Every structure is written in C-alpha cells, then in structure tokens.
Amino acid sequence: MEQPVTCTLTEAEMRKRRRTILDPIRGAVLHVTPLPLGYAYCFEPSSEMLTQLSRLVDLERHCCQFLTFKIIVAAGNQPICLEITGPPEAKPIVADFLGGPEFIAAST
C-alpha cells in the first residue's frame, strides 16, 4: 500500500526540526546529485556526520513514511552519501528537505 505524500509534523515541530537538525546537516552538504525520484547528498566521511545522518533518518522515517532513505558509506575515505527518494510527486518535498536544484548549481 502506498503511503500518502504528507509529513505528519506540525508547523512548530517542523520549525524546530529545521533549526536543530536539518539546517546543520544542510550546511554540511558537499555536493548534491539529482536522482530520478530524489537526490543524493554527500558529506565529509566522519563518524559524527554518520551519527547525525542516522539520527535524521530515524526521525524522518516516522513523519515522512513516503520517503526512502539510504546511507552509503563507501570503502576508503569517500564521502558519506544520503539518498532520499520517494514517489514522483515527492521530489519537490525532497528538494525542500536538504536542497535541490539551487544547491546543485552552487555545488558544481
């Protein structure tokens, strides 16, 4: 069964989530790659970043059940990547999450 494309957080909860979790992670993005149904965000390969991304995914999987999250830790000292995807109509929501096309232009 498909999940509805809606976040269950209230406006106040979303503002707090942005301020305390999303904004710091958004500021750490090294580059963004568009995917057919979302985006891949890459970060410095640190234990702290991996912990922050894991926490983000754990929180977001409850309020945005229509999204799929994949954390990729490649061999060596490669950037850690977070892929966020969903149904086609969710791509603008994903772009608002950590950045989209404007972030891509700035990171190239």
Helix H or strand E encompassing 51: helix 47-63
90: three-class secondary structure by DSSP = helix
Residue 45 lies in a domain: yes
Residue 70, in any domain of the structure? yes
Q: What is the pTM of this model?
A: 0.87
| The Cα angle at residue 102 between residues 98 and 107, in degrees rounded to 5 | 85
Q: For residue 46, tell me if it sits in a domain.
A: yes
Residue 84: inside a domain: yes
For range 69-98, the mean pLDDT: 93
The total of structural domains in the chain comes to 1
**What is the structure's pLDDT at 98?**
84
Residue type, 78: Q
Amino acid at 2: E
Is 17 among the domain residues?
no
Q: What is the mean pLDDT of the chain?
A: 89
Position 96 in a domain: yes
Per-residue pLDDT at 5 = 86
Find the domain containing 76 and state its range: 31-107
Determine the pLDDT at residue 2: 72
Among positive and negative, which fits the CA dihedral 57, 58, 62, 68?
positive
Per-residue pLDDT, 101: 67
Residue 53 has pLDDT above 80, yes or no: yes
Mean pLDDT of 14-29: 90
- Residue 7 in domain: no
Instruction: Please check the confidence at residue 38 and state whether its pLDDT lies above 60.
Output: yes
CA angle 69, 46, 32 (to 5 degrees): 50
- Residue 105 pLDDT exceeds 60: no
Residue 20 lies in a domain: no
